[in-house]
Amino acid sequence: MIVISVLTRRLREGKTYEDFHEAWLPDHGFGFPTRVVSALRVDDDREVITIGFSESTKPRREPSSSAAVRRSIVATTGSMPWSRPI
């Protein structure tokens, strides 16, 4: 099974993509096959999007209901990650 992750980040004032890349890049890999692509937003060089493709060897679980997943995320973080202002 392939897991695809899409993350966005906003760089702090004065930080560059190179700073982000150096701080984020793992020293020893992720422990499983992964391909990661990062890019800067065309009209805002402080916004970084990262797309990760990870191969999982664990057996698939039955999908949870969307409502249960949302409640779990909100209970853990206080809000949905994609609803926070960037």
d(CA 80, CA 46) in angstroms, rounded, equals 22
Given a cut of 50, is residue 85 above it in pLDDT?
no
Work out the average pLDDT over 57-83: 60
Per the listing, tokens 């698939």 go with 60
Where is pLDDT greater, at 53 or 26?
Answer: 53
pLDDT at 2 over 60: yes
Taking 90 as the threshold, does the pLDDT of residue 78 lie above it? no
* Spatial separation of the C-alpha atoms in residues 47 and 15, rounded to whole Å: 11
Position 76 pLDDT exceeds 80: no
Per DSSP, the residues of 25-69 read S-SS--SS-EEEEEEEETTEEEEEEEEEEEE--SPPPPPPPHHHH
Domain positions in the chain: 2-83
Extract the tokens encoding 54.
């990870």
